[in-house]
């Protein structure tokens, strides 16, 4: 089973004014739950674990847009650093897929896959799916069943966050950065109706902000 850093349900987080938070979001957030530096440190270790398990064969890193783009970029930088500083290395190529399942702070039942290259390019490859957060697990299960039709050699999933929630289908990724409480999180590319991707730290959105940015 994947090990992860657990953020407890009663985690108090850090005061916003101890960090740099964009002015335009100050009234929308209560606390910083995962500072950017901690995200980076945990990501560095995930890169090492992934290379240990997958580093024998060409890796295609598949970014799940849009929420995964920050984690994808930082994780790949760490993987690249390992690849260029060791005697053993493998080619690393990238691909992108866009899925949408959320409206406001609720997961909808339909998982839409929009865009991305032909998934058939992934046939025979070691595929690493890079996701921001797993909540019910439906997005990832849908994606995994789509991928399996393309006959990849190996598929692993890394998610920066996994939410502890009774809505979970029980699905767990192969690699997990943090397990987080059942709250709506934003920042580090996680959004609420497209806002808050431009925030470096992962924060809990307050109820007032959910109204303010509602569609």
Residues found near Mg ion in the complex (CB under 5 A) = 67, 132
96 scored as a contact of ligand IMP (CB under 6 A): no
Closest separation in Å from C-beta 124 to ligand IMP: 27
3-state secondary structure of 76: helix
Closest separation in Å from C-beta 188 to ligand IMP: 10
- 74/132 with CB nearer Mg ion: 132
Q: Are 200 and 189 in contact (CB under 8 A)?
A: no
- Residues with Cβ within 8 Å of 56's Cβ and at least 6 positions away in sequence, in order, are 90, 126
Q: Are 66 and 100 in contact (CB under 8 A)?
A: no
Extract the tokens encoding 189.
């590319």
| Choice from 13, 19, 101, 144 touching ligand IMP (CB under 6 A) | 101
60 DSSP β-pair partners:
93, 127
The mark string for 129-148 relative to ligand IMP (x by CB under 6 A, - otherwise) is --xxxxxxxxx---------
Positions touching ligand IMP (CB under 6 A) are 67, 101-102, 107, 131-139, 184-186, 190
């Amino acid at each position: 089973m994947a090990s992860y850093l657990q953020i407890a349900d009663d985690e108090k987080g850090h005061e916003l004014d101890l960090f740099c938070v964009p002015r335009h979001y100050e009234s929308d957030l209560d606390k910083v739950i995962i500072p950017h530096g901690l995200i980076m440190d945990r990501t560095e270790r995930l890169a090492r674990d992934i290379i240990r398990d997958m580093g024998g064969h060409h890796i295609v890193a598949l970014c799940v847009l849009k929420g995964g783009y920050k984690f994808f970029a930082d994780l790949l930088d760490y993987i690249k650093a390992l690849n260029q500083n060791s005697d053993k290395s493998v080619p690393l190529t990238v691909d992108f897929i866009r899925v949408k399942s959320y409206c406001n702070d609720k997961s909808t039942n339909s998982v839409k896959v929009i865009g991305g290259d032909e998934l058939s390019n992934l046939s025979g490859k070691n595929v690493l799916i890079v996701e921001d957060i797993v909540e019910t697990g439906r997005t990832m299960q849908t994606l995994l069943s789509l991928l399996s039709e393309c006959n990849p050699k190996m598929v692993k999933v890394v998610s920066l966050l996994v939410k502890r929630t009774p809505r979970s289908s029980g699905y767990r990724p192969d690699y997990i950065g943090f397990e987080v409480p059942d709250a709506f999180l934003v920042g580090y590319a996680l959004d609420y109706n497209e806002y808050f991707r431009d925030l470096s730290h992962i924060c809990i959105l307050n109820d007032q902000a959910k109204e303010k940015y509602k569609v």
